[in-house]
Amino acid sequence: MNILGIYGAIGWDGNIPYIVERMGNFWVHGSGATLIMNGKLKNAINEERFSRIKYDGTYPKLSIQHILDYNKLTNSDIDLVVYVCSSTEINFALKQSTYIEKKLQEYFPNCKVEFLAHHLAHSAATFYTSGFKEANILSFDGAGDYEHPSEDSGKWLTPHFKFSIGQDTLSQDNKICEVHTEFCGNAPMHNSFGNLYDICSLKTYNIKTKNVKDDHYVEQSEQHSYPGKIMGLAAFGDYQKVNLPEWFSLEKWENEFPQLQSNNADYSIMFARFNPDDLAAWMQHQFEKYLLLFLSNIPKKFKRDNLCLGGGCALNILANSKIIEQGIYKNVHVNTAPNDDGLHFGAALFMAAEYEKKITLPDDIGYLGITYTDEDIEEALCVL
């Protein structure tokens, strides 16, 4: 069975910011495709490697064509396409109207189309590459795609994290069992590790570089670089020199999941009076403090020895290392592309686990993209 995992905008240009008033800009980033043939992982490639557009979020036509050519396949040879949506309203509307499904069936005439939730794709990407027989899985980022309607308003909600249990047992119907989900609120910073770090990174970066750009119109290639830059800057600051409201408050009830409640403070005004190096250190401290608090208070009936991390927040290697240092989990695994770059990869793995008896992963799982010839390298050197 040929399974193709896809992530990327269909029916609109995912690289153009979709502006939502008071919520900021939403776009697709990290589009790409993954192929699994008869349970064997063959290729996983991101579109930016071909288009040369950093964080390219458009439909990954170049990645797909390369994969098909590499494996001597045509579009008609694909049996199953699994597509992951983003948190944009336009993407949600196109999915609900069946536009995306119809386009995929047009592109791949013999395929069955499946949709997979954003955080479930992140969870599959990290769990199925971990080698663990059993593990807790935390997928956390700014926001996933729309899932369940709110009981109060009827509006669809976007989760910013999912906590699951993974069991690598073929007799289990649900190898990844979702246990707890937290949804974003009406404000962009509400309860979300990813949104808080993104927004505060932008504020801190602007102070550090004396940048005056409008927050709502930052280029995609810039915005997705800020958190990593600020995480590095944190090493040069002192978080104790920053006196600001805590990111969250932790509420815990017996035998229940801990609840992180945001104070919804407007840091954009308060940040201006502090040194950006110290602000970066304070942000990193807040991220680590509340992540470790949350994981330390997981109810015993759900706690396992191993932890798999996925989603963009799993790129925070400073926090990841402290989970082991503090003995919260014996082992921690993060897959090669835990952010949205790996959504198509996780989607393909999830469906392979559902349809195939066994998944075979190569040892060089981080090197499944383009093969470069000597001529390709020489041409690149000449251009430089």
Contact 138, 308 (CB under 8 A): yes
Give phi and psi for 95, each to the nearest 5. Answer: -70, -45
Percent of the chain with pLDDT over 90: 54
Tell me the per-residue pLDDT of 303-359, one tens digit each, with 9 for 90 and over: 999 999 999 999 999 999 999 999 999 999 999 999 999 999 999 999 999 998 788
CA angle 64, 68, 73 (to 5 degrees): 145
Same fold, 2-129+338-383 and 134-334: yes
Domain ranges of the chain: 2-129+338-383, 134-334
Per-residue pLDDT at 161: 87
Per-residue pLDDT at 24: 46
Using the structure block, give the residue that is written with the tokens 């059993």.
134
How far apart are the C-alpha atoms of 17 and 21, rounded to whole Å?
Answer: 12
How far apart are the C-alpha atoms of 283 and 286, rounded to whole Å?
Answer: 5
Contact 76, 88 (CB under 8 A): no
Homologous superfamily (CATH) of 134-334 is ATPase, nucleotide binding domain (3.30.420.40)
Per-residue pLDDT at 257: 82
Q: Does CATH place domain 2-129+338-383 in 3.20.20.70?
A: no
pTM score, whole prediction:
0.90
Per-residue pLDDT at 250: 80
Q: Which residues of 166-180 are buried (b: 16+ CB within 10 A; e: fewer)?
A: bbbeeeeeebbebeb
Query: What tens-digit pLDDT sequence spans the chain (384 residues)?
Result: 999 999 999 988 877 765 544 444 567 889 999 999 999 999 999 999 999 888 898 999 999 999 999 999 999 999 999 999 876 778 888 888 999 999 999 999 999 999 999 999 999 999 999 999 999 999 998 787 877 766 666 677 788 889 999 997 644 555 899 998 888 765 444 568 888 888 888 888 888 888 655 554 455 556 667 888 889 999 999 999 999 999 888 877 656 788 887 777 777 778 888 999 999 999 999 999 999 999 999 999 999 999 999 999 999 999 999 999 999 999 999 999 999 999 999 999 999 999 987 889 988 888 888 788 899 888 888 866
